[in-house]
Amino acid sequence: MPKDRGQRYHDETRYHRHRMPREGGFRLEDPEPFKTYPNPLSVVELPPPDEEGGMPLWTALSGRRSRRDYSDRPITRQQLSQLIWGSYGVSGRYGAYYLRTAPSAGALYPVETYVVVNSVQEVEPGLYHYNPLKHHLEQLKKEELGQALARACLGQGMVATASVVFVWTAIAARSQWKYGERSFRYIYMDAGHIGENLYLSAEALRLGCCGVGAFYDDEVNQVIGVDGKEETVIYLGTVGSLH
């Protein structure tokens, strides 16, 4: 049976003790580690996250489930701040590196966070990009996008009924300059770390959460305004209040 493209990719990027795949060579230097939008429609300042106390880790791990049925009760701006920081916020600094709450291969952090707000107190519905250095949201679109995003996610209704939808994209060049063709392995690992952090953060706040891996790539890219080449969607996560 012929191998599919996914299997070929894994075969061709394997590490062998005496025959390593080509790494690097895509760029002479690493690209900018953070993306910002200099002229957003508006900026939403997020309250500082609470870094102490809360639900014990083992309790959150035990209770973590994929929950798709959300109430129409909006989440708060403080909860949104906690979710964003808990999933992928800046937690410290080591030399030139800003470290995050989720690990990343080589501390390169190729993933960007966008949020589609459907129902959050004190935050207008629309599309936002997260600026991790300033811990604020840059508004990119001022419209209700829940239904359009749900259609792009194979009609999954929870995308429209969630209070907020996280959309994670990858800027592959951030990893490719160092890891070459193997970089995509690490990018998807990074996304998994971030997604689990969102699950645990939501559980600690007693909110529902569900990851979304089934979507029409080009349609989601269009909703959030990225080109699908230099930057492309790789994963989504919904969060909402429970009944």
Task: Label residue 19 by pLDDT band (50, 70, 90).
Answer: confident
How far apart CA 14 and CA 4 sit, in angstroms, is: 16
How far apart CA 207 and CA 51 sit, in angstroms, is: 18
Q: Does the structure show a pLDDT above 60 at 28?
A: no
Q: Mind listing the pLDDT tens digit for each residue in 189-222?
A: 999 999 999 999 999 999 999 999 999 999 999 9
How far apart CA 20 and CA 94 sit, in angstroms, is: 29
Tell me whether residue 132 is in a domain. Answer: yes
Contact 225, 140 (CB under 8 A): yes
Tell me whether residue 85 is in a domain. Answer: yes
Question: Mapping DSSP to helix (H, G, I), strand (E, B) and coil, where does residue 53 land?
Answer: coil
For residue 157, give its domain range. Answer: 41-240
Hey, what are 82's tokens?
């906690």
Tell me whether residue 225 is in a domain. Answer: yes
Contact 172, 234 (CB under 8 A): no
Q: Does the structure show a pLDDT above 80 at 27?
A: no
- Straight-line distance from the first to the last Cα atom of the chain, in angstroms, rounded to the nearest whole number: 48
Contact 137, 44 (CB under 8 A): yes
Nearest by Cα to 185 from 50, 26, 15, 40: 15
Q: What is the CATH number of the domain that holds 111?
A: 3.40.109.10
Tell me whether residue 84 is in a domain. Answer: yes
Tell me whether residue 216 is in a domain. Answer: yes
How far apart CA 152 and CA 175 sit, in angstroms, is: 27
Domain count of the chain? 1
Residue 240 φ/ψ, nearest 5 degrees: -160, 165
List, edge to edge, every strand of the sheet that includes 126-131: 42-45, 136-141, 126-131, 111-117, 164-170, 232-240, 208-212
Q: What is the mean pLDDT of the chain?
A: 94
For tokens 């959150």, what's the residue?
A: 60
pLDDT value of position 24 = 58
Q: Mind listing the pLDDT tens digit for each residue in 133-168?
A: 999 999 999 999 999 999 999 999 999 999 999 999
Sign (positive or negative) of CA dihedral 119, 147, 143, 83: positive
pLDDT value of position 12 = 86
| 161 Cβ contact partners less than 8 Å away, ≥ 6 residues apart | 70, 72, 118, 146, 240
Nearest by Cα to 116 from 86, 91, 154, 84: 84
pLDDT value of position 104 = 97
How far apart CA 101 and CA 116 sit, in angstroms, is: 21
